[in-house]
Structure 1
């Protein structure tokens, strides 16, 4: 055989050595995982370590690789939720927020339209009654001037609102293009907020994906239960600062038009009548952190962005001496009196919080409010015991598959079968190393992909060895036969692996969940099998021929 150039030999040995080192941490998974968790916690605490963290950190040498394959929900256990975002709520809140703008626009032409009031209407529709119906054209013109063009690709040429008349009423509603834009924006916002909340809770490799028009799939390995996950992401944490109309202890009090009756969180039996339109909302929060009030009780400090701070400052300056309510998820958590203008854009939320509750509230507020409520259509809790059973079943399948492939190759091709088996073992090791390095998640279908890859990995060697047999039957010497076997089988091997690679890429691109888990290991396995079956096997056979120099070989 033509000798492999030195640089290729060095590259092959280096890559195989790296694969063994990078895959090794997975053989000591609990110890390395504890080491990684401790390192992350110590870094977050700026180098301060507890005795337990120090012990866990020393459980794995720092000079060795410590990247691990992430275990999926079916292997580690955890929680699975499928939720639907109530997009109709977003339409309602969006159109309700237009009322102050419409009112101010009509007030500018009050001499023409007369009095202006908001009329009752269905959710998602704003009806405004003017006292002088004859001025309807001028009123429509003023309100239509509030419409803004939609900037999305699908909304080019459309505006966000449609304004029509109905007798003495002006009817304002969202355009279809704006609803489509809201759908897309709300789903993206929901995905990002859920991801932020789950990440801040310290979970590992969650799966958060959009499914269909209004559904979100959430899978979080390692979390205790679906109920715990729902508490983390299902809370809207919607914060508003609203003007107080009155305070009462009568739950049957009629709040009046455009007002709401909201219970107090800290004062049982007390209710507040609040204006529906908030001064500022939690969406304008820039930061929220756990803190302590002047009495050293747990609290949450907050800071608005520029626009929110300006609105809050203007409102407090104009309403000194009046109360305002801090409302969280439709409960008044505090209703302080405005003693002076609050122009700094920051404040503090006090209440009967524990330290844990204040910390959790800060996390929820900092992550942002979900744009709408979520209805959970499906929820499952997968216990660690079931995950351990899945791992054991996957191990058995992999071991049985490996033994069958190894035995077949040895029985069919003798010593050359052993050479192929060396490449096969390295193939699996390098595949694990790559998955660890890129942070891929191993699932039960992924284990099936590994088992399938073991069978496919020796296909290339079968093609090569059969070609060597043909060359030997034609009278070629062992070295010439091996050289020709590798060269002439390469095109067939390449064609078969390219088609398999394309299949794996398509499965990953269009699939989700188990399909993607299978596609990851399947695709990586094809790439690594090309390297080990062609280059590693060739180098091993070349070393064997150069050292033994056999006159004949049996393949």
Structure 2
């Protein structure tokens, strides 16, 4: 009785061994480092950039080593973490605004562990330091642009059907259409019902005026808002990932807000520079000579040479196709002239709109308007006269191409007029990752220094150590030999938690450390139930071997129920919680599953090895 087959012991040994291997990388403290990356594709770091960085650090007397140059960035390791911020400021000043310099932590995991896929846990913003932004998507602008687009669509249909005596005016929440008589109104009403299924129509009569009030449906508004937020979410994720920020967090919060956390970046202005590097395109026809001022806009050229030659371009206000319709963009070369260009592929709606807009305008010129949103900081005063920093996203619009339409365009075409392959690559990147559906404003921003992150780590580790020590002492005093088994299982549980989180690529946060502390206390709960049941059976006169078996068998159902309900709560917390709550839920969930294994199978294996199959007169429990 109370003996495991050999394969069970081997399985437990294998799992624990793998846990030790995959948790090992976390004992190798990362080196403080600075990371240098270009602010655009035109400024990719080179060997000369690395030489400038090394020279500047040598002049400052900052010890550094292990310089690494890759296609995207430069990583320089430092001897002292206290030198990080100083090194970042000085290197940034030496390189200029064309490069982004951030503090980082460089992994020191041995190569043999890396070859096995073993990596340390990532540290969250509260432990690694960095910047936190809460951004709000300007969804009212999305709705306004939609209404303006519907207004232009309706006017085209009215002209196409030669309906005279109809006036269309767009407002904040919809359109107001008036007709000179009731029959004309009914004709327009039927036309709008057929062509504009997304609006709600309501007839009205006022002082002899026959009108129609058109408003967007609530469902359509939510769809438009969701699209704008999700599109901007994808934009920010792609852009941050392309820049090379370590372990960024970009996620939606509420109806129209987005949280951005960039560990390792300490200067909010640098972070805004990264987030501000988003772009969009608009394809518009060149305005005719007789076009009224209300129908056209004038824009400068992106290329100074074209600016001097053309003196700017006048384009129609009506947009043929937006950048959001761009499915893919890649930098290529013109096979005839070898000049750089960007190959564009539009989605279905974009291809249809482009075809409609160009097939009847062959011979006219079409402009490609490049729109880049940049943060502009201004100081305003609140009601009490205090200075408040406000950051607005301002759109800079420039024409990058103005070419004659030779034939009707469709799904695929190219943009020319670019200066260099680097500019083509940058534009392709921004189009792939930077089609903002709506501008965004900064609602909140915070900066967490690396020293505060190090203090959080130290306090978190100390709390785990104190909690672990108290539990170990209690189990030893109260359960004697069986307390030793529980303590061994508890140590194995901590190892497995760290190993599983490292293998999953989970990010460790301060609430996550709190989850580990809670798990330390909960991990022995199962053993307390088992050992208490064994004591009761022994008091009732049951033989020792039978008492041990009964204790594990009868307590199992109770342990499973308790842990399963806690796991369900942890899953719910992860599903609906924000970042800190998710961090707590992850470690709690992992801790529950590993503690079930170590508390039941782990301690049972130790008990069976020590007492299984033996004739015992007394049990120290």
TM-score of the superposed pair, with normalisation by structure 1 = 0.81
Change (3 A) 1:255 1:414: farther
**CA-atom RMSD in angstroms:** 3.7
1:420-467 CA distance string (max 9 Å, x none): 111001111112222223332221111111111111111222222233
For residues 486-535 of structure 1, give each alpha carbon's deviation from its aligned partner in whole angstroms, at most 9, with x where no partner exists. 23333433343233223323322332221221111112212211111111
Quote the residue 1:443 is aligned against: 509
Aligned to 1:209: 251
- Residues 1:460 and 1:261: Cα distance change in structure 2 (over 3 Å): same
Are residue 413 (structure 1) and residue 470 (structure 2) matched? no
Which residue of structure 2 aligns with residue 103 of structure 1?
155
Whole-Å Cα distance in 2 between the matches of residues 274 and 164 of structure 1? 36
Q: 1:125 to 1:500 in 2, by over 3 A?
A: closer
| 8 Å CA contact 1:478, 1:553 repeated in 2 | yes
After superposition, the Cα gap between the structure-2 partners of 1:311 and 1:189, relative to the gap in structure 1 and judged at 3 Å, is closer
Q: 1:362 aligns with which of 425, 428, 439?
A: 428
Relative to structure 1, the CA distance from residue 3 to residue 56 in structure 2 (aligned partners, 3 Å threshold; closer, same or farther) is: closer
| Alignment pair present for 1:465 and 2:502 | no
- Conserved 8 A contact 1:74-1:444: yes
3-state DSSP of counterpart to 1:22: helix
3-state SS of the aligned residue for 2:116?
Answer: coil
Which deviates more from structure 2 when the two are superposed, residues 384-393 or residues 518-527? Answer: 384-393
Determine helix, strand or coil for the equivalent of 1:97.
helix
CA distance in 2, matches of 1:332, 1:163: 41
Picking from 538, 552, 568, the partner of 1:502 is 568
Question: How do 1:15-26 and structure 2 match up within 5 A?
Answer: 15-26=15-26
Q: Deviation digits for residues 338-390 of structure 1, max 9, x if unmatched?
A: 173374732225456793x6544332211242211112111122233332222
The runs of 5 or more residues in structure 1 that have no matched partner are 35-49, 149-158, 248-253
- Is the counterpart of residue 191 in structure 1 residue 233 in structure 2? yes
Q: What secondary structure is seen at the aligned counterpart in 1 of 2:287?
A: strand
Change (3 A) 1:164 1:369: farther
Aligned counterparts, 1:335-374, within 5 A: 335-338=401-404, 340-341=406-407, 343=409, 345-351=412-418, 355=422, 359-374=425-440
Q: Which residue of 2 aligns with 1:142?
A: 191
CA contact (8 A) 1:106 1:143 kept: no
Give yes or no for contact 1:143–1:163 (8 Å, CA) kept in 2.
Answer: no
Q: Which moved more, 1:377-386 or 1:424-433?
A: 377-386
2:199 to 153, 160, 181: 160
SS in 2 for 1:414: helix
CA distance in structure 1 between the partners assigned to 2:543 and 2:250 by the alignment:
59
SS at match of 1:98: helix
Aligned to 1:2: 2
Check whether the contact 1:316–1:340 (CA below 8 A) recurs between aligned residues.
Answer: no
The equivalent residue for 1:426 is: 492
Structure-1 separation of matches of 2:331 and 2:18:
45
Q: Is the 8 A contact 1:313 1:341 kept in 2?
A: no
Equivalents in 2 of 1:335, 1:4: separation in Å?
Answer: 76
What's 2:164 paired with?
114
Corresponding residue number in structure 1 for 2:322: 281
Secondary structure class of the residue paired with 2:598: helix
For residues 162 and 236 of structure 1, the distance between their equivalents in structure 2, rounded to whole angstroms, comes to 37
Q: How many residues align?
A: 519
Where does residue 45 of structure 1 map in the other structure? none
CA–CA separation in structure 1 for the residues paired with 2:200 and 2:416: 36
CA 1:338–1:193 in structure 2 vs 1: closer, same or farther (change >3 Å)? same
* Mean Cα deviation higher: 300-309 or 504-513: 300-309
1:392 is matched with which residue: 458, 467, 492? Answer: 458
Structure with the bigger percentage of strand? 2
Shift of 1:132: 7.0
Q: Secondary structure at the match of 1:525?
A: helix
Q: 1:497 to 1:333 in 2, by over 3 A?
A: same
Give the whole-Å Cα distance in 1 for the aligned partners of 2:292 and 2:462.
Answer: 67
Alignment correspondent of 1:256:
293
Contact 1:160 1:177 in 2 (8 A): no
Equivalent of 2:118 in 37, 54, 66: 66
